[in-house]
Every structure is written in structure tokens, then in C-alpha cells.
Amino acid sequence: MSEYRYCDQFGLDKPARRARLEMLGLSDADQKIASVLSRSVIAPRVDEIVHRFYEHLFKYPAYSQILNRGYDVGKLRKTQTVYMLSLGQDFASAEYFEERLRVGLAHARIGLPLYLYECAYNTLTQLTLHAVPEEIRSDPGLHAQLVSFLFRITSLDMSLAIETYHLEKINALEETLSTLQLEEEELRYKIATDSLTEVASHSQALSVLEQAIRLAKRTSEPLCVCMVDLDHFKRINDTNGHLVGDAVLRDVAARMEAAVRSFDTIGRYGGEEFVIILENTPLETAHEVAERVRKRVGDSPINVSGTSVSVTLSAGIAQLRPGDTIASIIGRADVAMYEAKSSGRDRIVIDATSA
């Protein structure tokens, strides 16, 4: 990586730096007046300029509130002194541009509002003008040259510092936006996902079903809903405790997901009850999918911390009919599921009006 990181970032190579200087009316000829500014104005009175600068800042609450956040004002004064002594020195160099770009970054990071930064620059310029010695003031041509150069060089410094100031603020905003987007995605995931089983939540499953019904009615494609309930789940909780019961629900959900197709949706409807939404699926295929689910769950016991738990399920299937709503199709699948339970459990029953 180049030592001139910010120059590289802003494309301030030698031609670009020259173009910036030209826009501000700065040329190699100004190096002589820059030496006069440093040698005859700033260097002899730099301590006084910096002292008056901070004295001025502390008069205003907007500045003093920032300075009193725990910053070492003595260290800030030293940094300001170094800055003043380098003002305008070798101003066409990459080193000069890089240092001024860093100044804006530092001010952005301490939270200094841009208007305060610009006001402070104006104050610093005025204090420097007041420090011009009488021998220069008495030479109108030299004095005019020096004043002109001072305004042009501080304009250069401000333009560079403001670039990185804005860059830092934009980066901070982008970071905040990215964080908010991640938080929004996490929130959506939490809303859409059942926290225990990691299948679709109740509300998400109903949302998917609502969209599936609209699509099926528009395209005349078949749609089936399967309501699933674990048999004697209360007995599992009562015998083994709710922690084991939760582990069983997680395992059952995983087995169900492994048995259905990639485009099917499984949702936890409530407690030990699940809903499977089977889009573009005729009744016969829906029954096959439900049978795979039943066998995958019931064919082998679930092992939880050394405890072997056998689980079976009962399911009811309903196919979408004209005029169906979410409530009516789930209601018919639910009736079929309870029929499966009442007829012996561990089986699939198809809603009589769907067959």
C-alpha cells in the first residue's frame, strides 16, 4: 500500500495536485512568499497565535463542549503548533496534501461539525493576519502578496480536509445503514422463523399460504395443505420434561424438512402442531409427501441425551376448492387430522370434500 493512502483514494497524483493548485491560483512562484509567511509571521509568533486561537474557541460553548470531552488540550495545542509551522511549506508535494487530508479525518472522528471547523479556520486565518509584523505591513506590495497567499493556502487546506471529512461521514453513514439492514434482516428472520424448530413461524406460514392461494386461483394450479399433529406429545413432556420435549420438536421439524420437497413450506402452527403448504401439488402427490413425512418421523426413535423417544404423527390433507380462504382450507385439513387421531393415530386422512 502506498504511503499516501488518502492521496491515492482521492486520485490526487501529481497532475491532479497541480490542477487543484491551479484552480486556487497557487504556483511554484508562491513558494517564496510561503517562506516569508513561515519565517517572518508564523514562526516568531506561533505560540501566541495558537494561544489566542484556543482562547477564542473556549469563549463559545459549541467548541468548549467538544474540547471538554476529555481531550488533552496541551497535546492539541502542540499538534496545532506543528500544523501552523508547516502551513504552505512545500504545498505542491504529496506529503503536504496527505497531511491536510488527515486533518479532516481527525476532525470528523472527534465529531466536530463542519460549520465549526470552517469557523475555526477563519479564526486561525484572522489571527495569522494580525501577527503580520509592521515591516511587512509597511510594504504594500509584499503585504498584499502575503495576504493573498494566506487566503489561497488556507483554501487549499480546507478543501483537502473537507474531502476526508465528508468521506469519513459517508463511511459512517454507510456503516450505520449496513448495520440497520442487518438488524432488519435479523428481525425479519426472527419474525418469519419459529425460534425453537427453525421452520416457518405461524405468521409466516399463513403469509405463504395466503400468497399460494392467490397464485393457485390465478393459475388454476392445485394446492394442498397438510395439518400435522404429534401423537401423545403431552405424555412425552410429562414423562421426560419440557427440555426433552423441545428437543423432540426440533428433531421432528428437521425430519419433516428432510422428507418434503425443496419448494414445500413447513410451519409450526402451534405447540406440537405443524402445517405443510404444498404448492402446485395434486391430492395424490400431497398424500405421498405426507406419507414420507410420517415414516421419516415415526420409523426410528429420537435420542435425546441418552433418552430414546418414539414419536408418531397424525395428519390431515385438504385440497384448495373454489371460494376457499386460509381459514376454510386449514379448517378442513384440521378436521381430517382429528379424524386420523380418532381412527387410531399414526396415519394420514384426506379431507372427504377434497377427494
Domain boundaries, the chain: 5-183, 202-350
Length of the chain: 355
User: In angstroms, how far is CA 35 from the centroid of its own chain?
Assistant: 49
Q: pLDDT tens across 131-150, in order?
A: 999 999 999 999 999 999 99
In this prediction, residues 257-280 reach a mean pLDDT of 96
Question: Is residue 162 over pLDDT 90?
Answer: no
Architecture (CATH level 2) of domain 202-350: 2-Layer Sandwich (3.30)
Among residues 81, 122, 78, 105, the alpha carbon closest in space to that of 160 is found at 105
The C-alpha atoms of residue 221 and residue 212 are separated, in whole angstroms, by 10
The C-alpha atoms of residue 111 and residue 123 are separated, in whole angstroms, by 19
- CB of 240 closer than 8 Å to CB of 310: no
- C-alpha distance across the termini of the chain, in Å: 71
- The question of whether 99 is a catalytic residue gets the answer no
Alpha-helix runs per DSSP H in 260-300: 283-298
pTM over 0.85: no
Taking all residues of the chain, what is their mean pLDDT, rounded to a whole number?
92
- CB of 26 closer than 8 Å to CB of 91: yes
Per-residue cell: 83: 500544523
In the set 272, 273, 284, 291, the catalytic residue is: 272
Question: Is residue 337 over pLDDT 90?
Answer: yes
**What is the reported pLDDT for 255?**
97
Q: State the DSSP H helix or E strand holding residue 90, giving kind and residue range, or none if neither.
A: none
| Residue entry with cell 517572518 | 40
Domain 5-183: top CATH class: mainly alpha
**What is the reported pLDDT for 39?**
95
**What is the reported pLDDT for 1?**
54
